[in-house]
Amino acid sequence: MKRNILITGGAGFIGCHVVKLFVEKYPDYNIINLDCLTYAGNLENLRAIESSPNYIFEKVNLLDVSELEAVFAKHAVTDVIHLAAESHVDRSITDPLAFVKTNVIGTVNLLNVAKDYWGDLENHLFYHISTDEVYGSLEDGGFFTETTPYDPQSPYSASKASSDHFVRAYANTYKMKTVITNCSNNYGPNQFPEKLIPLCIHNIKNNKPLPVYGKGENIRDWLYVVDHARAIDLVFHEGRAGETYNIGGFNEWKNIDIVQLLCQKMDAKLGRASGTSEKLITYVKDRAGHDHRYAIDASKIQKELGWEPSLQFEEGIEKTIDWYLENEDWLNNVTSGNYQKYYEEHYGG
């Protein structure tokens, strides 16, 4: 059966890397990128493959059920890789309902449309991408595993936990073939600059303050986005239906250590005296409900599917910094709010 794979959120940070990988690696698949192009969706991320014969873009909101149904019928969708989500914790604190609408109701809409269109669910896969934040906060010892009880602490993580539960419920109730992955913090090219690493790169370059929550001692596990896309490819093709796989970078860093590393590397690349950029570090009031530590045990995907990160963190950070310094136009378009111009110019508004 020819595969017509619907990838939601394909113009976003992680999604664009998944779309590019699938379009280039699987020329016999049709890849339908469905994205509503909110502030974090940018079709310039996909310029390299937008003319590929097996790539299609559809501007659709997950809350529009009739449009979703039309896309499934028009492209005879066989499988779904669901990445579309509101993902920034700070935004979820100020506007939790937006996260409920997109992450919970949007996911249920997609599940319903897929279930009804496919009918016979045996030969179709609904792959849901989630986050390690659904597990809550770790103390200094231990790791999240696939059996760690859910304990979401923010509106964002609560919305993602809810969507995970709905995917599992549809697998149980309707016998839908599903798989879920929960990943650690991603970094790399094309990330919207409200997140820590691209924000610091942008602000260091422009001599702006580097805001650090609390004392900067919160710990995160970091995963290079291209390695995450490789993992998604493996799970889609070889993962066992009904299973959950955790995807992590085996790479824990305190936030303040990340910021200081970025300062050191940026000073060297920009020809500044060592220590110049560290003076920009500004400690700000801690985020409400800020989880102390996330760390993933990714041994299951490593043992079952042979996946492991390809890059050491410092190598990945070098690649990431170089990409942002070499793509100033992309960064300027995103930070100025001009990210939708590309869509209007290339797709007619």
Residues belonging to the active site: 132-133, 156
CA 38 to chain centre: 14
Name residue 266's amino acid: M
What is the secondary structure of 1-46 as a DSSP string?
A: ---EEEEETTTSHHHHHHHHHHHHH-TTSEEEEEE---TT--GGGG
DSSP-assigned beta bridge partners for residue 66: none
Contact (Cβ atoms closer than 8 angstroms) between residue 298 and residue 247 = yes
Cα 79 off chain centre by? 19
Write out the two tokens for 225: 């986005």
CB 287 within 8 A of CB 269: no
Decide: residue 296, CB within 10 A, 0-12 exposed, 13-18 middle, 19+ buried. buried
Q: What is the CA radius of gyration of the chain?
A: 20
Residues contacting 14, CB < 8 A, separation 6+: 83, 129, 186, 225, 228, 229
Distance of alpha carbon 46 from alpha carbon 54, whole angstroms: 13
Helices (H), ranges, the chain: 13-25, 65-75, 89-94, 96-99, 106-118, 155-174, 196-205, 225-238, 255-270, 299-305, 313-326, 328-336, 341-347
Nearest to 184 by CA among 296, 315, 307: 296
Burial track 54-82 (b if 16+ CB lie within 10 A, e otherwise): bbbbbbbbbeeeebbeebbeebebbbbbb
Which long-range contacts (C-beta less than 8 Å, at least 24 apart) are formed by 332-338? 333/42, 333/44, 334/42, 334/192, 334/193, 335/193, 335/202, 337/39
